[in-house]
């Protein structure tokens, strides 16, 4: 056992149960160009091209360095996100998955999601990703409206979005479409047209995000004219109504799925499961018998390449303090429509029920959450009002 592992295995005050499911998140940080609303760790492709082979070497080194933290565990889901992962070649993705499989066992039926942009779509490419081992494609459609796409600074158009979604439906048993709403110039009729088009693909999963103005983006400095809050609220009502009528359940704040098509990877985040983060700026959360650890990798792609290849992929590593755990758990679990089983809180945080019960009961008295007895035990789920005022509810656990 190396020094690092023994440090995290030493005794402590938390008593965690069996280790939670382990997911792997891989970040591929490049895009064709940076979108004006995006604050993700994404960067325009360097003028001398994508350093694909070198980045894959760095990811492998990062994985090797991380192994002592996840000894003996198998992988429940993989998510290759970005940036624009579909800029990588199918051969590159195949190599990445082969490296993962050779060092960490993937559980049978392991979900492997890849994010793809319609603007990088080529005939044949999606099939090659499928053959490389990707089981689920997540397409960043954003909108099917050419004017909205232009206002968002996207490189793709409606025709490419339709072609990409059509092929995803043909090639993958399950796929997701990302759409944003409350877009510059959008009204309810335009939202309806976007939904008509999205629902025409009978998507197994939709992620529907309210466009937000993030600090440090071009949109924050030069804000476009956006629908007002009342219109945005009406838009959300319309989304909820129409997705439900199409057989999609809103199982999380922004996630809608047909039965059997929830995203296993994101569900694991929301249930406060573990994830190993690989790649530039990737965050990880890992549990040990007596502590919960958070890790971050070097954020700038150039720094990440240099450091990971020199054996130092991690830029920050810290234990989540006892006091912070209830809030961190609730920040995730209360996003789920069905809430969480009470025993899960103890299992995942290692804290006694007394760390949250008084606050859950107070929130219940105010009609923000409700307890629910099931055959397995007690569940806590946000009420419709709690779901509408989610950040207020979550802040009660600070």
Ligand X SMILES: C[S@@+](CC[C@H](N)C(=O)[O-])C[C@H]1O[C@@H](n2cnc3c(N)ncnc32)[C@H](O)[C@@H]1O
Which residues from 141-160 bind ligand SF4, rule CB under 6 A? none
Say if residue 83 is preceded by a cis peptide, omega within 30 of 0.
yes
203 contacts ligand X (rule: CB under 6 A): no
Which residues from 60-89 bind ligand X, rule CB under 6 A? 82, 84
161 binds, among ligand SF4, ligand X, none (CB under 5 to 8 A by kind): none
Q: Are 72 and 64 in contact (CB under 8 A)?
A: no
Distances (CA, A) of 34 to 23, 88, 118, 139, 218: 28, 17, 15, 17, 10
34 binds, among ligand X, ligand SF4, none (CB under 5 to 8 A by kind): ligand SF4
Q: Are 86 and 42 in contact (CB under 8 A)?
A: no
Q: Find the shortest distance in angstroms from Cβ 37 to ligand SF4.
A: 7
Q: How far apart are CA 239 and CA 161, in angstroms?
A: 20
Interface pick for ligand X out of 91, 173, 187, 214 (rule CB under 6 A): 214
Comparing CB distances to ligand SF4, the nearer of 83 and 382 is: 83
24 binds, among ligand X, ligand SF4, none (CB under 5 to 8 A by kind): none
Interface pick for ligand X out of 40, 201, 327, 389 (rule CB under 6 A): 40
Which residues from 153-192 bind ligand X, rule CB under 6 A? 178, 180
- With contacts defined by CB under 6 A, name the span among 143-151, 210-218, 265-273, 306-314 that binds ligand X: 210-218
Q: Find the shortest distance in angstroms from Cβ 42 to ligand SF4.
A: 4
Of 171, 240, 168, give the one whose Cα is nearest residue 201: 168
Assigned token pair, 86: 């579909």
Which residues from 11-50 bind ligand SF4, rule CB under 6 A? 31, 34-35, 38, 40, 42
- The SS3 assignment for 323 reads coil
Helix (H) or strand (E) holding 241: helix 229-245
Comparing CB distances to ligand X, the nearer of 84 and 295 is: 84
* CB neighbourhood size of 54 (10 A): 12
Q: How far apart are CA 184 and CA 342, in angstroms?
A: 42
Q: How far apart are CA 256 and CA 209, in angstroms?
A: 11
Q: How far apart are CA 34 and CA 4, in angstroms?
A: 37
Q: How far apart are CA 61 and CA 75, in angstroms?
A: 18
Q: How far apart are CA 350 and CA 47, in angstroms?
A: 49
- With contacts defined by CB under 6 A, name the span among 91-99, 160-168, 205-213, 369-377 that binds ligand X: 205-213
209 binds, among ligand SF4, ligand X, none (CB under 5 to 8 A by kind): ligand X
Which residues from 285-314 bind ligand X, rule CB under 6 A? none
Comparing CB distances to ligand X, the nearer of 180 and 305 is: 180
211 binds, among ligand SF4, ligand X, none (CB under 5 to 8 A by kind): ligand X
Q: Find the shortest distance in angstroms from Cβ 149 to ligand X.
A: 11
Q: How far apart are CA 318 and CA 294, in angstroms?
A: 5
Q: Are 272 and 16 in contact (CB under 8 A)?
A: no
Q: Find the shortest distance in angstroms from Cβ 35 to ligand SF4.
A: 3
Comparing CB distances to ligand X, the nearer of 144 and 379 is: 144
Q: Find the shortest distance in angstroms from Cβ 166 to ligand X.
A: 17
Comparing CB distances to ligand X, the nearer of 84 and 160 is: 84
DSSP 171-214: H-SEEEEEEEES-TT--HHHHHHHHHHHHTT--SEEEEEE----
Q: Annotate each residue in 111-140 with x if it binds ligand X (CB under 6 A) or - if it does not, as one string.
A: ----x-x----------------------x
Distances (CA, A) of 260 to 18, 273, 300: 26, 20, 37
* Cα four-point dihedral sign 56, 60, 61, 66: positive
Which residues from 61-120 bind ligand SF4, rule CB under 6 A? 82-84, 117
Interface residues with ligand X (CB under 6 A) are: 37-38, 40, 82, 84, 115, 117, 140, 142, 178, 180, 209, 211-212, 214
Q: What residues make contact with ligand SF4 under the rule CB under 6 A?
A: 31, 34-35, 38, 40, 42, 82-84, 117, 140
């Amino acid at each position: 056992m190396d020094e690092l592992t023994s440090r995290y295995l030493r005794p402590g005050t938390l008593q965690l149960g069996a280790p939670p499911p382990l997911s792997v998140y891989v970040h591929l940080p490049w895009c064709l160009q940076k979108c004006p609303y995006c604050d993700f760790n994404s960067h325009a492709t360097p003028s001398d091209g994508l350093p694909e082979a070198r980045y894959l070497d760095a990811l492998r080194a990062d994985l090797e360095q991380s192994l002592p933290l996840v000894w003996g565990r198998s992988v429940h889901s993989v998510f290759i996100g970005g940036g624009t992962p579909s800029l990588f070649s199918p051969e590159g993705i195949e190599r990445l998955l082969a490296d993962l499989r050779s060092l960490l066992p993937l559980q049978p039926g392991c979900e492997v999601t890849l994010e793809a942009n319609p603007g990088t779509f080529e005939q044949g490419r999606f099939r090659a990703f499928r053959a490389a081992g990707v089981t689920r494609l997540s397409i960043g459609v954003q909108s099917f409206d050419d004017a909205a796409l232009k206002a968002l600074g996207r490189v793709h158009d409606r025709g490419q979005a339709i072609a990409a979604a059509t092929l995803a439906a043909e090639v993958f048993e399950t796929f997701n479409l990302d759409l944003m709403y409350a877009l510059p110039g959008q009204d309810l009729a335009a939202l309806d047209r976007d939904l008509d088009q999205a629902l025409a693909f009978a998507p197994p999963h939709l992620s529907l995000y309210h466009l937000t103005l993030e600090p440090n983006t071009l949109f924050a400095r030069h804000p476009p004219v956006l629908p007002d809050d009342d219109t945005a609220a009406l838009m959300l009502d319309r989304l909820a109504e129409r997705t439900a009528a199409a057989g999609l359940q809103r199982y999380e704040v922004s996630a809608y799925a047909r039965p059997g098509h929830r995203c296993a990877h994101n569900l694991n985040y929301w249930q406060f499961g573990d994830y190993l983060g690989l790649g530039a700026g990737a965050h990880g959360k890992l549990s040990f018998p007596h502590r919960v650890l958070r890790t971050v990798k070097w954020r700038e792609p150039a720094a990440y390449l240099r450091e990971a290849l020199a054996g130092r992929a991690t830029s920050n590593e810290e234990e989540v303090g006892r006091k912070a755990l209830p809030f961190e758990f609730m920040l995730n679990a209360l996003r789920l429509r069905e809430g969480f089983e009470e025993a899960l809180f103890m299992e995942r945080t290692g804290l006694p029920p007394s760390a949250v019960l008084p606050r859950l009961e107070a929130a219940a008295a105010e009609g923000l959450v409700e307890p629910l007895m099931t055959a397995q035990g007690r569940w806590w789920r946000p009420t419709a009002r709690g779901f509408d005022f989610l950040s207020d509810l979550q802040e009660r656990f600070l």
